[in-house]
């Protein structure tokens, strides 16, 4: 038995049904044990990989919840409904480890590595036509490793020699026992993959898939975390000036959530009825008001007072349009703390599919690119930073525009919170910038013994533990456990 259970070789990559992003044969008709033979086979594998990313343990729900529940923009209206351990940091190696992140992402990486190995064999034998699929696979692998190292490794600027996650870039044998690489190793692998992939990808929009701009959007995001502001700005501006994507007007912003693959969507994961639709346990179900759409909608998370106070800076902020009354709202004290981005609208319109919970996940949008450009420009060109910030800040039409004299990092960070709420960014932003996070525990008067009310990145539980199950399977990982667990 493999000592790290998630790397067991699989005979077939695609036990997921074919994504309806393309009209192609069923994913499970391609067998990794006999390898792919044609570009059409590679496309089917890409379908399966992206489908695996919509798992409830990844972008389908829990990874996105992680960023906002732990970042202080979400709070809970009741304990014990599900996943409130994210908010309370109730983690240990043996319970509440959230090991699903580790196992699901490495499962997806296994598929990527099988695909890349098979493409390399075909290209070595003279086959052509696989470049785009190789580029997509490399970019997806970079995204997965970036997500893993943020969950389990220290911020890049804290200690690059600290443990990150195992870098696995080839299919492993059943006896393999990979150990953790350093944070620097992980970031080096991420950037190597992104740089190798970019020239293989086309620049036309590729709804539901990775194109060139999806790749350099991820480069901009990673460079921002590395505090390489020159490159973060360079790639952000390349996307902005390409005019392939365009920002929504204020009038169109709210309805954009009812639309698949809109003008801002650079990489968006398709979610379809009977294919990744988690129903009441979807992101939409977790973030809307309790009981809205059925008795199994429990209102798992609501906006914190801290987030709502940012929106309250302008009652005309268009982003109020995806908020609705939450369960603690009353006539005397109305409170729009329920988020409806992943329900399409406050009337549960969805995004054009049969159910209002099968709503696509927008992994990276043009709005974020403008905010990356603003943050990256700030140290050297404050007027430029203000210009990029104002492109998003205007969604609060009554707020004064920033100028080169008034723009600050905190203004940009607040705008990221308002624009990207519910998209899984806040915690990672606060940790990478060494900001303190205060939690809205007093909203229902809960006691949280598993974390302080205010934390910063010195709190050991800002990193997840390696689960005891993984350590039992690969004992050497026990010597590489994150501090405090």
DSSP E strand stretches across 232-386: 265-269, 302-303, 323-324, 338-339, 361-365
Is the distance from CB of 254 to CB of 345 less than 8 angstroms? yes
364 lies in a domain?
no
From residue 285, alpha-carbon distances to 288, 289, 337, 457 in Å are 6, 8, 14, 30
Residues 6+ apart with CB under 8 A from 311: 317, 319, 320, 323, 418
- More confident site: 3 or 202: 202
C-alpha pair distances (Å), 474 with each of 128, 144, 291, 468, 479: 39, 21, 43, 10, 10
Whether 43 and 145 share a structural domain? yes
3-state DSSP assignment of residue 364:
strand
Say if 314 falls within a structural domain.
yes
What pLDDT is attached to residue 34?
59
Does residue 35 sit in the same domain as residue 128?
yes
Residue 50 is assigned to a structural domain of this protein? yes
Computed over its alpha carbons, how large is the radius of gyration of the chain?
22
Is residue 23 pLDDT above 90, yes or no?
no
Check whether residue 284 and residue 191 sit in a common domain: no
Distance of CA 110 to the CA centre of its chain: 19
Task: Tell whether the model's pLDDT for residue 61 goes beyond 80.
Answer: yes
Kindly state whether residue 404 falls inside one of the protein's structural domains: no
Check whether 16 has a pLDDT greater than 90.
no
Determine the Cα–Cα distance for residues 131 and 139; give it in Å rounded to an integer: 12
> 187 and 283: one domain?
no
Indicate whether 158 and 13 sit together in one domain: yes
pLDDT for 35: 74
Percent of the chain with pLDDT over 90: 90
Greater confidence (173 vs 387) lies with 387
Q: Is 24 a residue whose pLDDT tops 80?
A: no
**For the segment 72-116, what is each residue's pLDDT rounded down to a tens digit?**
999 999 999 989 999 999 999 999 999 999 999 999 999 999 999
For residue 388, tell me if it sits in a domain.
Answer: no
- Which pLDDT band holds residue 158 (cuts at 50, 70, 90)? very high
**Which residue range(s) make up the domain with 330?**
279-359
Residue ending a domain, choose from 343, 359, 375? 359
- Are the beta carbons of 140 and 192 closer than 8 angstroms? no
Q: Answer yes or no: do 68 and 179 share one domain.
A: yes
Alpha-carbon span 186 to 173, nearest angstrom: 21
Q: DSSP E strands: which ranges in 239-293?
A: 265-269
Spell out the residues 6+ positions from residue 324 whose beta carbon is closer than 8 angstroms to its own: 288, 289, 292, 336, 338, 340, 346
Residue reference for tokens 């501006």: 237
Backbone phi and psi for residue 288, each to the nearest 5 degrees, phi listed first: -85, 175
What gap in Å lies between CA 315 and CA 308, rounded to an integer? 11
In a domain, 320, yes or no: yes
CA 331, chain centre distance (Å): 35
Residues 6+ apart with CB under 8 A from 330: none
Residue range 218-224: average pLDDT?
98
pLDDT score of 445 more than 90: yes
**Quick one: how far is CA 79 from the chain centroid?**
25
Based on the fold, state whether residues 187 and 303 are members of the same structural domain: no
Residue 18 has pLDDT above 70, yes or no: no
Same domain, 4 and 110: yes
With a pLDDT cut of 70, the percent of the chain lying above it is 93
Verdict on whether the full-model pTM lies above 0.85: yes
Reported as a single tens digit per residue, the pLDDT across 384-413 is 999 999 999 999 999 999 999 999 999 999
Whether the pLDDT of residue 29 is over 80: the answer is no
Give the model's pLDDT for residue 25: 31
With beta carbons less than 8 A apart as the criterion, state whether 482 and 465 touch: yes
If one compares 24 and 118, the residue with the highest pLDDT of the two is 118
The tally of domains found in the chain comes to 2
- Same domain assignment for residues 176 and 319: no
303, 330, 359 — which closes off a domain? 359
Give the residue carrying structure tokens 């899984």: 424
Last-in-domain residue among 359, 386, 418? 359
4 pLDDT band (50/70/90 cuts)? very low
Q: Residue 10: pLDDT band by 50, 70, 90 thresholds?
A: very low
pLDDT at 106: 96
CATH of the domain at 179: 1.25.40.390
Mean pLDDT of 113-137: 97
- Domain-embedded: residue 29: yes
CA angle 261, 296, 66 (to 5 degrees): 55
Question: Per-residue confidence at 172, pLDDT binned at 50, 70, 90?
Answer: confident
Mean pLDDT, all residues of the chain: 93
Q: At what angle do helices 382-393 and 409-419 cross, to 10 degrees?
A: 20
Do residues 196 and 103 share a domain? yes
Backbone φ and ψ of 149, nearest 5°:
-70, -25
Are both 286 and 197 inside the same structural domain?
no
- Tell me the two tokens of residue 228: 């390489």
Structural element, H or E, at residue 231: helix 229-242
Q: Cβ(135)–Cβ(148) under 8 Å? A: no
Q: Output the pLDDT for position 27.
A: 38
Are residues 195 and 329 located together in one domain of the fold? no
Residue 151 lies in a domain: yes
Residue 77 burial (CB < 10 Å; 0-12/13-18/19+)? buried
Task: Give the separation between CA 8 and CA 90, rounded to whole angstroms.
Answer: 29
Write phi, then psi, for 141 (nearest 5 degrees).
Answer: -65, -40
């Amino acid at each position: 038995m493999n000592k790290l259970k998630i790397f067991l070789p699989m005979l077939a990559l695609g036990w997921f049904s074919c994504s309806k992003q393309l009209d192609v044969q069923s994913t499970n008709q391609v067998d990794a044990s006999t390898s792919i033979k044609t570009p059409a086979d590679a496309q089917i594998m890409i379908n399966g990989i992206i489908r695996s990313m919509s798992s409830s343990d990844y972008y389908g729900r829990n990874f996105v919840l992680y960023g906002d529940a732990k970042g202080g923009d979400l709070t809970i209206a009741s304990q014990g409904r599900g996943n409130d351990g994210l908010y309370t940091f109730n983690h240990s190696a043996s319970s509440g480890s959230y090991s699903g992140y580790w196992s699901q992402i490495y499962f997806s990486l296994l598929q990527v590595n099988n695909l890349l190995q098979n493409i390399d064999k075909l290209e070595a034998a003279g086959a052509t036509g696989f470049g785009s699929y190789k580029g997509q696979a490399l970019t997806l692998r970079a995204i997965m490793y970036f997500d893993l190292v943020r969950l389990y490794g220290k911020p890049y600027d804290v200690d690059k020699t600290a443990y990150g996650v195992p870098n696995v870039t080839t299919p492993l044998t059943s006896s393999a026992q990979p150990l953790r690489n350093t944070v620097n190793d992980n970031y080096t692998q991420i950037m190597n993959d992104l740089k190798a992939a970019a020239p293989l990808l086309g620049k036309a929009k590729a709804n539901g898939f990775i194109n060139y701009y999806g790749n350099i959007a991820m480069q901009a995001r990673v460079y921002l975390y590395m505090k390489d502001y020159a490159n973060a700005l360079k790639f952000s501006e390349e996307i902005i000036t390409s005019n392939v994507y365009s920002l929504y007007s204020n009038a169109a912003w709210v309805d954009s959530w009812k639309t698949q693959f809109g003008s801002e969507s650079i990489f968006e994961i398709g979610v379809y009825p009977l294919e990744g639709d988690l129903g009441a346990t979807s992101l939409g179900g977790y973030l809307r008001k309790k009981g809205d759409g059925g008795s199994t909608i429990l209102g798992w998370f609501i906006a914190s007072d801290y987030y709502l106070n940012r929106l309250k800076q302008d009652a005309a902020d268009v982003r109020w349009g995806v908020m609705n009354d939450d369960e603690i709202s009353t006539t005397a004290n109305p409170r729009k703390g329920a988020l409806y981005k992943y329900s399409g609208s406050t009337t549960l319109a969805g995004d054009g599919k049969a159910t209002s919970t099968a709503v696509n996940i927008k992994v990276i949008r043009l709005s974020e690119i403008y905010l990356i450009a603003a943050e990256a420009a700030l140290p050297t060109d404050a007027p430029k930073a203000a210009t990029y910030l104002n492109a998003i800040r205007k969604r609060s039409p009554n707020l004064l525009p920033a100028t080169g004299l008034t723009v600050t990092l905190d203004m940009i960070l607040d705008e990221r919170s308002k624009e990207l709420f519910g998209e899984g960014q806040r915690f990672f932003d606060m940790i990478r910038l060494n900001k303190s996070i205060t939690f809205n525990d007093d909203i229902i008067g809960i006691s949280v013994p598993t974390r302080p009310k205010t934390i910063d990145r010195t709190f050991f539980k800002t990193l997840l533990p390696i689960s005891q199950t993984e350590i039992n399977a690969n004992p050497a990982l026990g010597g590489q456990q994150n501090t405090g667990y």
